Structure formats: C-alpha cells, structure tokens
Structure 1
Amino acid sequence: MDSDNPLVAVDVHTHLGRHGTHVHAPLAEHEIRAWGKVSWDVTEQQHGGASASARSSVVLAFDAEPVGVVVPNEYVAEAVRGNERLIGFASVNPNRPDAVDRLETAVRDLGLRGLKLGPTYQHFHPHDRACLDLLEAADHLRIPVIWHQGTTFTSAAVAEYARPLQLDLPARTFPNLRMWIAHFGHPWMAECVSVVRRHEHFYVDPSAMDTRPWQLAQALASAAEYRVLDRVLFGSDYPFSTVERTVAGLREAAAMCRRLGIAEVTDADIDAICQRDALDLLGLRPPQTSQST
C-alpha cells in the first residue's frame, strides 16, 4: 500500500505487543483454542507496514493484567514517538490505586493522547466509582476514550461487565467526553447503537467485524435505522484484521444489507466511513492543523 495514497483516513483501532513479552496466558492460550494461533504478536516494523494503509492510526496500550495482557504505556509512547501518522493511547486499569496518577503521567509526560478501557478484560464495572474517577480525569485532560464493550473469546474475562448499555451512565455523567465502542459492541450491536445515538459525542467502530459478515450487516443495518451511520469510525483491530480486510468486509456487509432488503447501506456510506476525519471528531487533530487552508 502506498502511504501517499492510503485506503482510509484514520484507523482508530490498532495494537502492538509481542506474545511472551506483553501477551501471556490465559488470553494467549485461549486465543490458540479459539483461532488456532496467537495473532496478538506484532512487531513495530510489522505494524508500520500495515498502518501505511491509513493516513493516521491510533495505537493502543492495554493494561489488562487479569487476563494476561500488559502492553505498557511507555512501550506505546516510544513506538509512536517521532511518527506523526501514529497516535498513542494510554491504558490504565481503574482498579489500580494510582490509576488517575498513571493516566496523568501517560498524557503529560509520555505524550499519549487517549485512554483505552476494557471492563470485561480489566475486571471492573463501568459504573464503579474508580472508573468514574478515571473518566473524570480523562475529561479534565480532554482526551477521548475507546471502550472494548462486548464479548470476547477468553473465559478469563468477566462477561457481565461487557454490555454496551452500561456505558449510558458514563456518557450521561460526562456529556462532553468523546468516547467510542469498539467492535460494534458485538453481539449486542443494536444495543450498542441505541446508546451511541443518545449522546452527541459517542461513536462506534467496526474493528474485526469482517470475520462475522452477518453480524456486521446487522450492525450497519441498525446504524442506518437509528440514523447514526455518521457516527461509525473506521477501525481495523490490527493485527486481528487489516485495513484491507476491514474495507472489504464493510463493502460485503453493505451489499448483504441491500441484497436481503434489511437496510439501504450504500457504497457511498462505506466510502464515508473509510474517509471520515476521526481526528477532528475525537479532538485528536493538533491545533495548528485543525483548520483547512
């Protein structure tokens, strides 16, 4: 892929991390059981090649020690340093007693520009006081938040913390905080979209949903019915998928919607998702480039 002519404007969901260094059991073992291999094993060089398909890419740390994954904030900060195309996001488990301090350090000292949360992996409920305190800090720091709010393959996760509806309270509590739900909140896609439509600064991404064409078609149909297709940001979930596979999956799912008569999701709708300026929507564009010339 020619980095001067990328397929998408912004990929809001990519990962770094090596199996055995950042990704351990139980999640790694459960990934093998579910998929036959550990996909979460990607070098900075591999990520750099894949991310050339997007003009800008968000790179996520992940503080999910309860399931065996710790991709440190410092590691991500170093990986994105000096590369204007990559935007590093911190991750902090709200259960840590110094969670707010960790987030402030990640933003102010390491230069990370957002927060990744995954209640089902980090073993907290989105309504917990510790979570709300961390969101208050994110709101004060004026950084966006990405949520993994949906199911997962590992039995080490806490399934009852995964429902998208649980994010309605955080969204009501912090109405100006820009947030989005990854993976369309699958398998609760309609529930996810119903939450997104209620809140002005709430979005969703379709990351890794190309592996589930029927669910992705239902997700796009729900977004069309609820009139929030303009809230769908492009996300691949690399290395679990790629920009190319995600674009193809979105087009296939839109065609399925039309073929089955469940929604009129057009090629133009998919083009809009691929070219959406998520940096502006999420407040991630540097101030000096926020206005067109």
Structure 2
Amino acid sequence: MKIIDFRFRPSTPEAVRGMLAKGGVFSPMFELFKFADRAKPEPLEKIVADLERCGVVKGVVTGRDAETTYGLASSNPGILELMAAYPDLFIGFAGLDPHKGMDALATLADMVEKRGMRGAAIDPYLARIPASHAKYYPIYAKCCELEVPIVITTGPGTLVRGAVMDDAHPRHIDRVAADFPALKIIISHGGYPFVSDAIMVVHRNRNVYMDLAEYEEQPFSEGYIKAANTLIGDKILFASAAPFMDFQEQIALYRRLPFEPAVRENIMYNNAAGLLGL
C-alpha cells in the first residue's frame, strides 16, 4: 500500500538535538513525555530508506514560524534543504508568522513560486491568535491566489507558557472555511480535544480536511474512527507527527485501527494524493 505522510519531519541527530535543547518552548512537554528516552536520531539516508521500505512515497514537511511570540525562527530553510536532497520524496509547506504582516506574504510567494513549496502552514496556538483573526486573512487570500492548501495546526501542546487552547479551537476554522470556500484547509492534530467540533467542521465544509496526528488513541478518539467510517473517510489524512512519534509505529497503528478497508486506503494515500493533485 502506498502511503503519503502529511506531517513528517525526519529525526536526524541535528533535529533531535534541537528539540531537546533546554529552554525551548516545548521543553516542558518533551520532559513530561520523556521524549529523550524514545527519540531515535538517525542519518537522513537511513530515514529515507526506511520510508521507502514502508511504502511512504511522499512526506509533507510543514514549516513553523513563531518568532514573534516565542522566538522560534522559521524552519523553512531546513525544509528547503530536505527538498533539495530528496525532491521526489519531500513536499514543503511554508511556515508563516501572521504577526509579520506583508513579510509573511512575501515569504509565502517566494517559497511557492521560486522555491517549489506546495502549501502554507500556520499555528494559531503558538501565534496566540485564533485562525479567524484578521491577521491571517491576507495569508488565506494569498493561498487562494497561489492555489495552494494551508495546514492549520490545532494541537494544544502541553505546558506551553502563555498559550491558550481556545486559539486552537476548530470553530475558528469553520468561519475561515466559509469566508474562503476556494481555500483547501487541513486541520492538523484533529482539533483535539474538541473531537466532535472538528469532525463537524470537516463534514460540513467541502474544503476542509483533517489529520489525527498524535491523538489516534487519546480519550474520545473513538469519535474519529467512527466518523472516518461513516462521514469523513474521504477527508482524513495519515500524518505520523514524526519525529515526536515514530513513523513506523504510526503506520503499524493505522493498520490496526478499526477502519474499513477502503477507508484505510483513502486515509493512507488517496485523500492526500487528491488534495495535492498527484
């Protein structure tokens, strides 16, 4: 079975060291979940070989830029390096900071038109403003102009200082979907813990998709499985959330979860392929 991983970052030694650096915005979360004990830093060549062995034909690498609020500089340069090294495997989505205004639009245009990226990525939780905030609307309009989708991260990272869960609530995405019906939106991390709300946002808006990265087995996650088999099986995307999660273990998990066979095939490849125009 061919697989498209819609949220993948390789666990290279450099990436793992960066994630485990003391004082980072996610450091308390990584310590709580003992990420250092389960991290598996490996050379990029080994990671790529494992992806190919597992049937992963594309990996979407979503960027992040939360420099204004948390001092997290853009990860776009590193994504460009991955794309250059393995252009047939990695697809980049440009991370954008909405507080940077017109500079964010210039970044998006450059990354898509000149550097070959295929979409945009924002994180309202880290930006500390909801997805329906006016600062995002020029970004959405630019995505429509460029005809590229946008990933909206909704996972409320644990123990992130100053961030509030409401900024990541999927109800804000419902308004964006109504205001920009031509914009293809991917809710990343399933809108957790607002499971029912996220499901309905995906169900009632033709232009909204969802991945379940990291939350497939959390409390109330059975709602995702039921919705996949009955309502939105053509709009859920496989996303491993590597390197925080082991992508090989995540693939094995999706083979075990009680998806209908046709739904599983859609989730693992077909839905993403259609969204990306492959």
TM-score normalised by L of structure 1: 0.80
Equivalents in 1 of 2:257, 2:273: separation in Å? 25
Residue 247 of structure 1, CA deviation: 3.1
Q: Which residue number in structure 1 is paired with residue 232 of structure 2?
A: 228
Q: Is the 8 A contact 1:223 1:229 kept in 2?
A: yes
SS of 1:57's partner is strand
Residue 46 of structure 1, CA deviation: 5.6
Q: Which of these residues, 18, 27, 48, is aligned with residue 15 of structure 2?
A: 18
Residue 72 of structure 1, CA deviation: 2.4
Residue 155 of structure 1, CA deviation: 2.4
Gaps of 5+ in 1: 1-6, 255-264, 286-293
Root mean square deviation of aligned Cα: 2.5
Residue 205 of structure 1, CA deviation: 1.0
Q: Which of these residues, 74, 77, 82, is aligned with residue 77 of structure 2?
A: 74
Equivalents in 1 of 2:220, 2:254: separation in Å? 11
Residue 102 of structure 1, CA deviation: 1.4
- CA 1:172–1:201 in 2, change beyond 3 Å: closer, same or farther? same
TM-score normalised by L of structure 2: 0.84
Residue 40 of structure 1, CA deviation: 10
**Aligned residue type for 2:249:** R
Residue 8 of structure 1, CA deviation: 3.6
Equivalents in 1 of 2:105, 2:76: separation in Å? 14
Q: Is the 8 A contact 1:62 1:91 kept in 2?
A: yes
**Residues 1:91 and 2:95 are matched in the alignment:** yes
SS of 2:73's partner is strand
Residue 154 of structure 1, CA deviation: 3.0
SS of 1:209's partner is coil
- CA 1:163–1:40 in 2, change beyond 3 Å: closer, same or farther? farther
Equivalents in 1 of 2:106, 2:40: separation in Å? 28
Residue 213 of structure 1, CA deviation: 5.1
Q: Is the 8 A contact 1:12 1:236 kept in 2?
A: yes
**Aligned residue type for 2:272:** A
Equivalents in 2 of 1:32, 1:57: separation in Å? 23
SS of 2:107's partner is helix
- CA 1:37–1:277 in 2, change beyond 3 Å: closer, same or farther? closer
> For structure 1, which segment, 273-282 or 194-203, has the greater mean C-alpha deviation from structure 2 after superposition?
273-282
Deviation string, structure 1 residues 89-137 (Cα, Å, up to 9, x no partner): 1101111132111111111222211111110012222122110111111
**Residues 1:62 and 2:64 are matched in the alignment:** yes
Q: Is the 8 A contact 1:23 1:68 kept in 2?
A: no
Q: Which residue number in structure 1 is paired with residue 193 of structure 2?
A: 187
- CA 1:196–1:43 in 2, change beyond 3 Å: closer, same or farther? farther
Equivalents in 2 of 1:171, 1:90: separation in Å? 20
Q: Is the 8 A contact 2:29 2:160 kept in 1?
A: no
SS of 1:62's partner is coil
- CA 1:99–1:246 in 2, change beyond 3 Å: closer, same or farther? same
**Aligned residue type for 2:3:** A
Residue 15 of structure 1, CA deviation: 2.0
Q: Which of these residues, 151, 156, 162, is aligned with residue 168 of structure 2?
A: 162
Q: Is the 8 A contact 1:18 1:42 kept in 2?
A: no
Q: Is the 8 A contact 2:29 2:157 kept in 1?
A: no
Q: Which of these residues, 21, 25, 32, is aligned with residue 34 of structure 1?
A: 32
SS of 1:89's partner is strand
Residue 194 of structure 1, CA deviation: 0.2
Deviation string, structure 1 residues 65-104 (Cα, Å, up to 9, x no partner): 3345435212211211252121111101111132111111
Gaps of 5+ in 2: none
Equivalents in 1 of 2:222, 2:248: separation in Å? 18
